[in-house]
Homo-oligomer: A and B are copies of this chain.
Amino acid sequence: MADAARRRPRRGVSMADVARLAGVSSQTVSRVSTGHPSVVESTRQQVLAAMQELGYRPNSAARALKRGEFRTLGVILFTLATTGNSRTVEAILAQAAQEGYAITLIPVAMPTQDGVLGAFTRLGELAVDGVVVIMEVHLLDAANLELPPNMQVVVVDSDAGERYPVVDTDQADGARQATRHLLELGHETVWHVSGPIESFAAGRRTQAWRETLEAAGKTVPPPQLGDWTAESGYQAGLVLAQNPGCTAIFAANDQMALGVMRAFHEQGRSIPGDVSVVGFDDIPDAHAFFPPLTTVHQDFAEVGRRCVEGLLRQIRNEPGSPGTDLVPTRLVLRGSTAPPRSA
């Protein structure tokens, strides 16, 4: 065990070491390492053998220094705990890997915990060629962090369209589809459990819900304010369950819909018999809820794909389409919605 530490050389094996052993120049080693064509097969084999023997690994710092690029993208976020964030990151990860890029996660502590970031206070030191910001840009400002100048940026879920290219799910259209679906089933109006006010996505969903009701000439009930958690949905559900006139609910995400449904179950109200519920996100569990949840499907994979493509386009200095890039949503019909009893 103790020799494990001893065995580890302070510095790694370099091209020069490999070159010496293989009896070639280090440039030839470099050529083998990068797959350059003009190396004769016999030489290549010698070099590969030497690499193997010494356990050579290219030093990516030196490589990045020489090439002027890291082949790494940063992702700035508050948390991975929300389904939306982790799925977006996963999609970005997949797409970036395909393009030969690595992903570095950059957590931003909330303003209240400032200083926790330690060495990362200065975003500028990051070894990345560009960043995807998965949060409200103004929250970044609030956290007293400034995106470095000359840094390529794409923003998700934000109103930063003026300042940066934005990729986002078509929040408004999704909310519109959800609300219309409930109206078309014959419900008098649709009640709403919203996300937190500081979220741009939540704001857009609420706004589209309101506009859809108004356009249909329906009354607009006061929205219940939630915070994305199932618990907040439960609390909202307890309030709504008091109201016998409430027969249709649009929750701004699936977790809150889950909480709402629990509240109604506990009150002995049936879903969708007494009340219809629609969510937003289409998390993997949504179809296993009781009843399976009708919800707005977000195409996170597509969001991730467009983020990476947009960012790489900027990095490669290719012409890009600025402005907001909207990824369409679609309503997935399941068992949590039905016409009202009276209909």
Interface: A116 (CB within 8 A): yes
Please determine whether B65 and A234 come into contact, CB atoms closer than 8 angstroms: no
Closest to A105 in B: B103
Q: Interface residues of A toward B: which range?
A: 35 or more
Interface: A124 (CB within 8 A): yes
Interface: A9 (CB within 8 A): yes
Please determine whether B5 and A317 come into contact, CB atoms closer than 8 angstroms: yes
Interface: A220 (CB within 8 A): no
Please encode chain A, from 221 to 237, with 1 for each CB lying within 8 Å of some chain B CB and 0 for all others. 00000000111011000
- Which residues between 90 and 143 of chain A lie within 8 Å of chain B, taking CB atoms? 90, 93-94, 97-107, 109, 116-120, 122, 124-127
Q: Which residues of B contact A63 (CB under 8 A)?
A: 61, 125
Interface: A245 (CB within 8 A): no
- Which residues between 246 and 270 of chain A lie within 8 Å of chain B, taking CB atoms? 255, 258-259, 261-262, 265-266
Known: A9-B150, A81-B284. A125 touches B93 (CB 8 A): no
Please determine whether B94 and A57 come into contact, CB atoms closer than 8 angstroms: no
Contact of A100 among B1, B79, B119, B322 (CB under 8 A): B119
Given contacts A12-B150, A55-B148, 8 further A-B contacts (CB under 8 A): A60-B127, A61-B62, A72-B104, A80-B90, A97-B116, A97-B118, A100-B119, A262-B290
